[in-house]
Structure 1
């Protein structure tokens, strides 16, 4: 390590590997070689995964590097459902595990994950650790589990049955479950209050009550509730595209019931303020928008006269749009997504027909390539990258609104059908949140919709979620994450937030 540090002093470079990074970090920290400390920290951040994040976090207890400590700790919190299966979790102290399980922002879809983590940790050293069962069990939001789960998995457990404090805790939880009457009642009971989501789904703009709207609603996936976060300072837009980038939401193009826009507005989620940024080359409503490599792509759409094949790309750091190669077909009312460093655009309307075609763009070659046709024509479609496939959902085939869904496999250039939605719709919002595919609102053929449902690829099933507060189509959705003020975009509760600094007690 000393040799590497001396070479770094003379050359300004060093070969950091997984084999030498820990020793090198400790030595550089001891000798106060801060540039080398930063190099090691950057390397470790890039290597973070569920199997090593706890070990990296524990290294920061010896060598105090705040940024690495923060990132490793929050990686544990955000990826806990995978971290729970790692070997490293068994090495946590009781205080460290208690701190993690007690955090309000622990990212778990089911509280059973927390309970099973406790059992696994105790089973590693049962005689030494079983005395901690009560303090750990108190960190589980017990009333968020079902009555059957509590009876079959918790109350029947020998550790729980043989501990008076645990037995009282579980009885209180069951009594609480019995008295919870609706979704809202969960929010004000300390045993059943949902944890904070690590990401929030925003539904933005659209067409409602015969006019365009500027309403923004935020969906809290843990509470299964929507709240309005509109400040009414943005111009109403329907048939727009949205993108989340660098802590901001961009609203691209759209239509206000009078004319299509070329304008783009940026919403700062921290300050709740709107800012106008550079306009596109073309007016575009019914536009397809996606993000790739820190750039926003806008493709196709309708300019008030013509369906477009043109496409352009926006770089936030320069606040400039630049034209890229045009698509092979003119498309308005299509949809787009990114997968494996390519932009995909599917379906749409060319002015005469609803389209069955799809194509992808490579930024490396600046070329569009046609891919296999979808199984049916789809305009007003939703497409999204999910589970390593491109999913096309719903839409209008020229005769009726569709509930069918198909998935594209980029390795063999084929489409296959999956389970259909329960509600046919076109011109809806679509995004992936919590490893599930959400569809929001839309037009059902006679009326706009409040309805929200989500698809789970592991079960091939659709499930209803809480409806939006207002009925709308022609909206756009985006998922926002890593917000320092996330509590402003979720269902409020009467407990103080636990988004405090990392506790270093062990």
Structure 2
């Protein structure tokens, strides 16, 4: 059985490996306990060196701790009590008031683990690795050594991967590390396709855990067919005992977001045919999807049609529209294939500007408002929905090329109102300061740049006399520019983007017409640029981003035989594997000379989704989502 999707294919995969499923009991966990697993509360107290020295020399010790394996440790009761409320209560005998203090303790901790706990008590440090973290967290939790619990949780959070995240999540649940559980759950949902393909623990989820994951609006999947693949993989691991859950899990699939031919394939699946309730349900699904409202409408109240919330948000900012610069911001919800006008407009309209993101912040650099050429820099915080001013560049620049590399922002070339420039500068956000770097070898405005392997590539542009084919590269380490092979076509208003270690130069203006052509170059491998499939729409001065492993081109100038050129709102995307282009929904506004970027993993991604917008407008947040 095979499900088809555009532009590539998703197969329903069957898994037959078998392992016994084990459940772990909750330990030391109460629902009302406050989570203390994240290291926000770690003290900055500096531990006196004398403590470590006294411990190593067994001097002034006034207590003994015996471990489960017979190892004995001479300790200072006050120091251990400061790190652990458990040992404080034990040594002071506060449980049995009036009784003399205790000087000895027997604990069920392996000696090697207790030695690490003592390291923390005496120095504030603890050596954590993959072989000891489970025992450290278990015993630190049992004996109330909060600092080690926090360190272990931070270590596990940093180590999250598709192969281990489910195991870490189960482990965190045992010790009521609610922050780690929350972040682990988010990791699973945001990386679900990789977890499904790489985690050996996926098939050991219980039914309720699987249902919770695949029912979530924030499940990050490119295609809804993946959810059905996941259900089949889980059931086929133990088909005899798990087939009874098929109908319940099937209802979590949002069939309205599938290709119709895949819905028909699933409706004829063996498991559907075997149960009348499944068959009746799929008949209703087929009927509803066939009679669905016109394509422009999305019913977020109907679970079949409600899109998931994308992990990635595409922002399109500024540009030239209706004969003047604009400050409009639009966001693209890829799961719904819809553009949404945002209220997060800046107070300064601009076009022909640069844009990049760093640490979840969007930086808008230079540009032109119809009268002034800017050297100003504005930053937008999409979490707080706020704009603010940054330090100005040394030079005014519109038609500027901007990239982010090595946690710095680079602005190159452009036009200052008098001449095309070859100067370049970089910005350090941590210092809010610009610094000049060596100039390019060519004057370039309306060029485009991209970063690959600690090198900045810039191609095309206009030098005041001609549209250029030339390209060059800046080595961040050596601080030097050098030439790379010229492009096939001269291009200004071009877009350069990196995908899979390959540079793609798309569209632009060759001095005569806007181009549909594109070409690619692999630094270090290709001797020259090679052509790729042409776009459906000729365009220059458009925005380009990587989203869902596709290259999206957005808006721009298009040739118009009446007026000479016109702004457009057309959007299309390129699949590098298929070497083909596909249509996406157009923006709400015709715009050229705009810039765009993608930010992943925003905590408020829902604010920029069609589901979030619907809930804001209709106030139905609690009701939306009921099955």
Contact persistence 1:187–1:194 (CA under 8 A): no
Q: 1:482 aligns with which of 584, 593, 601?
A: 601
Contact persistence 2:424–2:440 (CA under 8 A): yes
For residues 147 and 468 of structure 2, what CA distance do their matches in structure 1 show? 55
Please name the residue that 1:504 is paired with.
none
For residues 192 and 96 of structure 1, what CA distance do their matches in structure 2 show? 23
Structure 2 residues not aligned, in runs of 5+: 1-112, 560-564
Normalising by structure 2, what TM-score? 0.75
**Are 1:246 and 2:371 counterparts?**
no
Change (3 A) 1:72 1:416: farther
Shift of 1:13: 4.6
For residues 280 and 7 of structure 1, what CA distance do their matches in structure 2 show? 50
Shift of 1:498: 10
Greater shift in the superposed pair: 12-21 or 477-486: 12-21
What secondary structure is seen at the aligned counterpart in 1 of 2:567?
A: coil
Equivalent residues in 2 for 1:213-228, closer than 5 Å: 213-228=326-341
Normalising by structure 1, what TM-score? 0.93
Change (3 A) 1:498 1:379: farther
1:71-93 residue CA offsets vs partner (Å, 9 max, x unmatched): 32212111112211132211111
**Are 1:151 and 2:276 counterparts?**
no
Equivalent residues in 2 for 1:128-147, closer than 5 Å: 128-147=241-260
For residues 344 and 19 of structure 1, what CA distance do their matches in structure 2 show? 43
Shift of 1:101: 0.5
Contact persistence 2:329–2:345 (CA under 8 A): no
Contact persistence 1:104–1:498 (CA under 8 A): no
Change (3 A) 1:2 1:454: same
Please name the residue that 1:395 is paired with.
508
Greater shift in the superposed pair: 374-383 or 433-442: 374-383
**Are 1:426 and 2:540 counterparts?**
yes
What secondary structure is seen at the aligned counterpart in 2 of 1:351?
A: coil
For residues 62 and 369 of structure 1, what CA distance do their matches in structure 2 show? 57
For residues 221 and 623 of structure 2, what CA distance do their matches in structure 1 show? 15
For residues 499 and 79 of structure 1, what CA distance do their matches in structure 2 show? 24
Higher RCO (Cα < 8 Å, 6 or more apart): 1
Please name the residue that 2:400 is paired with.
287
Shift of 1:32: 3.6
Shift of 1:46: 3.2
Equivalent residues in 2 for 1:107-506, closer than 5 Å: 107-152=220-265, 154-188=266-300, 189-414=302-527, 415-445=529-559, 446-491=565-610, 492-493=613-614, 496=621
1:268-323 residue CA offsets vs partner (Å, 9 max, x unmatched): 22333321121111101001112223322211111111212222222222222222
Which is greater in Rg? 2
What secondary structure is seen at the aligned counterpart in 1 of 2:577?
A: coil
Please name the residue that 2:69 is paired with.
none
For residues 280 and 463 of structure 1, what CA distance do their matches in structure 2 show? 38
Greater shift in the superposed pair: 485-494 or 215-224: 485-494
What secondary structure is seen at the aligned counterpart in 1 of 2:298?
A: helix
Report the aligned-residue RMSD.
2.2
1:378-412 residue CA offsets vs partner (Å, 9 max, x unmatched): 11110111122121111112222211122221232
For residues 623 and 141 of structure 2, what CA distance do their matches in structure 1 show? 31
**Are 1:18 and 2:130 counterparts?**
yes
For these two proteins, the number of residue pairs brought into alignment is 499
**Are 1:37 and 2:156 counterparts?**
no
What secondary structure is seen at the aligned counterpart in 1 of 2:573?
A: strand
Shift of 1:240: 0.5
Contact persistence 1:333–1:381 (CA under 8 A): yes
What secondary structure is seen at the aligned counterpart in 2 of 1:451?
A: strand
Contact persistence 1:104–1:499 (CA under 8 A): no
Shift of 1:107: 0.8
Change (3 A) 1:275 1:499: farther
Greater shift in the superposed pair: 104-113 or 369-378: 369-378
For residues 94 and 115 of structure 1, what CA distance do their matches in structure 2 show? 14
For residues 442 and 622 of structure 2, what CA distance do their matches in structure 1 show? 50
Q: 2:203 aligns with which of 87, 90, 100?
A: 90
Please name the residue that 1:56 is paired with.
168
